Structures are given as C-alpha cells and as structure tokens.
Amino acid sequence: MKILVVGATGPLGLEIVKEAQKTGHAVTAMVRSSLAQFPQGVRTVQGDVLRPETLAEAVLDQEAVISSLGSKISFKPLTMLSEGTRNLVQAMRSKNVNRLICITGIGAGDSKGHGGFLYDRLIQPLLLNEVYKDKDRQEEVVKQSSLDWTIVRPAQLTNAPARGAGSYRVLSDLKGVTSGKIARADTAAFTVNLLNKPDFSRRTLLITY
C-alpha cells in the first residue's frame, strides 16, 4: 500500500516509517526540511500542515495517511494540531484519499482521567493542558470528516524494545481502565497493522500494556 506519514521526523513517526517499510508498504515521509534522514527507499516530500498549498502534492496518489503530528509543550493556546489536521483532511478529500489513521494520546477526549494519578493530576494539567485541548479539537476534526478514519491513543510512550502484539491491550471502552505505558515500537507496529484492519474503521482506540 502507498502511504504518507505525517510527523515522520518525530520519534514515533520515524518508528512508523521504519515499520511500514519493513512490512512492505511504499512509504512517503512528509518533511519540512530536506535535511531529514530516513532509511533507503523511503520517499520524501516537503510539506507543512499549516501551509495547505503544500499538502496536495504530499497526498497525491497515496492510498492512506498516518498522522503522527506532535507538539512541544506550550503554556499558551495552541491550534497547530487541529488546524493542521483540518488542512490535511481537506487535502485528502481533494485528492480522493480516504484512509486516515490519526495518533493523539492518552488524555484526549474521553480518555482524560485514565492515565494514572501522576499523569492525570500533575503532568497533563500542569504541562500538557494546552496541548491536550488542541488534541481534543484535532480528534473532533477527524471524527466529523467523511474519511475512513481510526484514532489511536497511545499510553505514555517509551523507547523500550517492542514486546509484540500479545503484550498490550487495545481498548475502546475505558470504564475502570488506568493506562500504563507503551513502547513507540509497539505503537508503530499496531498503527501500521491497522491499514489492513477495516473492522477498526471509525473507532477510537487506546493502546497500553
């Protein structure tokens, strides 16, 4: 499958690029700088989600898009994630690209309050409050689109080695759930595997050990 990875230069995005290539997909990584480095065989295209005019070429002829957009900690109102995703959705619709997998995180939407005491009481409200307000808006943009979407909310991400599919839980019903952690490598493998999982269409999923 021909896939575009947005946010490809971030730690999780790079894992997704590697996993997608390893599993036989034709991968295009969207980058803002031509200096970005990827494994041999990965095509790059320059683009910026906040510059809609650059997105048409990026999504052209793709069969699916995986968005791993990230944001630095901000204590001021933030709109990059939601605005950028809105631009991406519009570009996909204009080029008839229908499949979108969007990665947000634990604490977005109805997963708020399911990250554990330290995360829920300190990390998210004190450090990530503005980021997660925008992730909420980002998820609404995706859900209100006409695309074939899946939203993935990883637990707290680590750089630990992958444990494999049998090691983590995939949850939609969060009643009584407290998430833990999840390796970026496992998150990447799960996300890429969703490309072949039509039963997860238009669903929001938490992934955690």
| Span 2-56, pLDDT tens digits | 999 999 999 999 999 999 999 999 999 999 887 788 999 999 999 999 999 999 9
47, 32 Cβ separation under 8 angstroms:
yes
Q: In terms of Cα–Cα distance, which of 7, 97, 20 is closest to 49?
A: 7
For 86, list phi and psi in degrees, rounded to 5.
-60, -45
Could you read off the pLDDT of 70-97 as tens digits, one per residue?
A: 998 999 999 999 999 999 999 999 999 9
Quote the CA–CA distance of 47 and 62 in Å, as a whole number: 15
pLDDT tens digit sequence for 103-113 = 999 999 999 99
* The CATH number of domain 2-208, selected from 3.40.30.10, 3.40.50.720, 2.40.50.1070, 3.40.50.970: 3.40.50.720
